[in-house]
A and B are shown apart, each in its own frame.
Chain A
Amino acid sequence: MRLEWANLLAFFAMGVATYATRLGGLWLVAALRPSRTVKAALDAVPVAVLTAVIAPEIVKGGPPDLIAAALTLLAAFRLPLLAAVALGVAAAVALRAVMA
């Protein structure tokens, strides 16, 4: 099967660039010697980044996705993760079908 050198070079270039971003956070924290304020910022990173990833997609999905997202969040406070996800996806599929 075909494996061109030019393509392989491009994959490695992308891979090195990506790996640099993966190591960058470790270097950053090692260099910063986090203060209490920095620690508070880092503690908020999971919620902040997860929110930033999904917010535009959910808004793009319109009312069905917004309602399904709200239902998922409510469910997630009461149910195990997997059950909340199943409920949320079922709601999204149903609402998209009904409201489209």
Chain B
Amino acid sequence: MSLPPDDEAPAHSSALAEFRAGVLTVLPVEIATVPFALLLGALAAQKGLSPLEVAAMSGIVFAGSSQFVALGLWQDPAPWALLAATAFTVNLRHVMMGASISRHLGRFGPVTKPVAMFFLADEIWAFAEKRALAAPLTPAYWAGLAGVFYLNWIAWTAVGAGLGAILTEPERYGFDFVFSAVFIGLIAGFWRGSRSAVVIAASAGMALLVERLAGGVWHIVAGGTAGAMVAAVLASLGGEAGDEA
């Protein structure tokens, strides 16, 4: 082995350690994603898409929920303007996520930043936010979160298109609850006392209301905005006390 010992290449090995930490952090969620990737591929095959086309879609769009919605609307020839407009609305939540994470991208360069943002998916973003609470967010950590997750998503959606419907109800085995449970666990990590409970109540209440009234995809942006606005109101009412908590 001609690898240098760790102490001879501190910068390199710490980037490697960051990368590895990112990979390991996202691994459990990645495994839970596989059944949904297979399901998406199977749905796409039903709509007449080839495994190669499914891989292209996953690699170019890389946004699971909007891909599911798109396949619901899919026709031949593909209604590209409708699909683009729908993807935009389904993915509007990224604007809030990007606004929040942008304050932790100090170590990202002018090229790294937009490249990293291409991989802004719910899970990657949430784990990155959690990381930023404890340590400066590095491009290597982000790459660890995003890289394998991205390839995993492309590969398993393509496999699903090749296999067809082998797993039709991931929720029967509890795979769907993995995402809810991870997000709940992360919420606990972001907890800042009663302030957080108020944000959760506002967000959940608005999300449920909008979901009931409008259906579709608006509940995430509506709920997220309601929660953020309540926090802003609390901060302006609380004066200087808003800085601690």
Give A residues with C-beta under 8 Å from B. 1-4, 6-26, 28-30, 34, 36-59, 61, 65, 68-69, 72-73, 76-77, 81-82, 84-85, 88-90, 92-93, 96
Contacts and interface: CB of A to CB of B under 8 A. Distances in A.
Interface in B85-111: 85, 87-88, 91-103, 105
The 9 lowest CB-CB distance pairs between A and B, nearest first, are A25-B98, A48-B227, A52-B223, A44-B231, A40-B235, A76-B188, A25-B99, A10-B78, A88-B181
B176 interface: yes
- A46, A53, A55, A81 — most chain B CB neighbours (10 Å): A46
Range, interface on chain B: 35 or more
Contacts of A11: 53, 56-57, 60-61
Contacts of B79: 10
B70 A14 contact: yes
B188 A9 contact: no
B235 A55 contact: no
B183 A53 contact: yes
B contact patch SS: helix
Given A2-B52, A54-B179, A81-B185, A10 B102 contact: no
Given A6-B77, A13-B84, A55-B204, A18 B61 contact: yes
B182 A81 contact: yes
A43 B105 CA distance: 15
A13 B177 contact: no
Given A51-B203, A85-B182, A89-B177, A22 B94 contact: yes
Interface stretch (B2-10, B12-20, B206-214): B206-214
Nearest to B225: A48
Given A42-B99, A76-B184, 9 more contacts: A1-B51, A8-B53, A10-B84, A21-B93, A49-B223, A52-B226, A55-B204, A56-B207, A68-B177
